[in-house]
Amino acid sequence: MHSDQREIVYINFVHLGVGLQRLREPDLRSRPLIIAPATARSLVLDMSPEARRAGVRRGMRLAVARSRCPEAAVRPPQRQEYQKLVNRCLRAGLAFTPLVAPGRGTGHLYLDISGSRRLLGPAVDVARKVRQEMVRITGLRPAWTLAASRLVARTASRLVKPDGTYVVVPGTEAAFLAPLPLSLLPGITPQELARLRELNIRTVAQARQLSRQDLALLCGSRAPLLHRMLRGIDPRPVHPCPVSAPPGLEYRCSFSPDTNHEQTVIAGLHSLVLQAGHRLRARGLGCRRVAVRLVYCDGVEVVRQAAIQGVATDNQSIKRLAVTALYRGWHRRVRLQSLSLSCSRLLAPAVQLSLFACNEKAGKNIEISRAVDVIRERFGALGIRPASLLPAQQRYEIDTSRR
């Protein structure tokens, strides 16, 4: 094996919400379980294998899931507990390699153990030890895979859910991917799958027969990326993740009924900005990036973000970022079911005297925001609010969660 050959372990806690809930309530181990918010328009976030066999799927409306599996217990998600578990796993992974990072979603972990071979032994043995440590600290049994790239390792995990093992030998990535359905390939979009199915192309091997020019006609600017993905080429590194970094904030509002009325949506977003800004200033922090998640009534989700070089601390600055992110993703005519706002890259703002009049306005904005915080703390969230929220106040309900 070449010394520069990468070896990446992928840990996947399948049905994380169900597993943690069953550890907390052992009686639920013998009955189907659905994880979903306790709201009228909520969607299924996770389900036990028993509920899945009954026809329950992620993204399904809770009412439909209940009709398919009436005997299932329903519990709300515990996002803070999920984040705590991920942080514990990140810290445990540092005993094997400094290159540990979470994947997209909850309960996914990448470890680049390429530099640990001389100290800890063969990569397969290290991967087994990693998994044993994850089981010890969480009480859950994750699936784990080992491959030379993040893409191939994640693809392999989809073959061994919920708690199996798969090792892709370096040099066999193309042969491993060839017979697999395209739908198992992470990163390929539903639109691209649909275009390829129109040509009766359903497997990776069939898609490889297309040239880059052919892929460009079907998938546009993503053709070079897809050309590499089909061959298992993924040079993305595993960047070390600072475990001690301040956690982000996430707030959510649900619209009842579903809506695409601009004033109502903006009012809901503004209300989330007030909550996020209040929480940030209470912690002495600001944010550099804001993300908005749109959930449509047909189950489609869109996430867009906006960022700045400085640090946003006042309500106006956070709102500008939030509105920018909103309009980057809000293009469909389908009604919205819910809206989420998350703030990340949290930093303590630098305190500096202003030399220019343009900075005086920013100073006034933060003073106004802090004054609003004092009033809200004393008289409640409705003690003071922008006039723009008044006409739409009864059109949505707020369901707040933090990470």
How would you label 250-286 residue by residue, b for 16+ Cβ within 10 Å and e otherwise?
Answer: bbbbbbeebbeeeebbbbbbbbbbbbbbbbbbeeebb
**What pLDDT score was predicted for residue 34?**
95
State yes or no: cis peptide before 162, omega within 30 of 0: yes
**What pLDDT score was predicted for residue 401?**
44
**What pLDDT score was predicted for residue 395?**
42
**What pLDDT score was predicted for residue 376?**
67
The closest alpha carbon to 337, from 253, 270, 251, belongs to 253
CA distance 22 to 94: 28
CA distance 347 to 287: 6
Find tokens 């040079």 and name the residue.
235
**What pLDDT score was predicted for residue 96?**
93
Average pLDDT across each block of 10 residues of the chain; the chain has 403 residues. List them in order: 76 93 93 85 88 92 92 89 88 92 86 89 93 94 95 95 92 94 92 93 95 91 92 89 59 86 91 89 87 84 88 89 94 88 82 50 68 71 62 46 43
**What pLDDT score was predicted for residue 285?**
86
The closest alpha carbon to 339, from 263, 251, 247, belongs to 251
Structure-block tokens of residue 257: 């009924």
- Structural domains present in the chain: 8-13+81-229 (3.30.70.270), 249-400 (3.30.1490.100)
Going by the DSSP 8-state scheme, the letter that residue 103 receives in this structure is: -
User: Checking DSSP bridges between strand 249-259 and strand 336-347, what pairing results, if any?
Assistant: antiparallel
Q: What residues are paired with 101 via a beta bridge?
A: 110
Sign of the Cα torsion 44, 192, 165, 150 reads negative
CA distance 318 to 328: 16
CA distance 226 to 137: 38
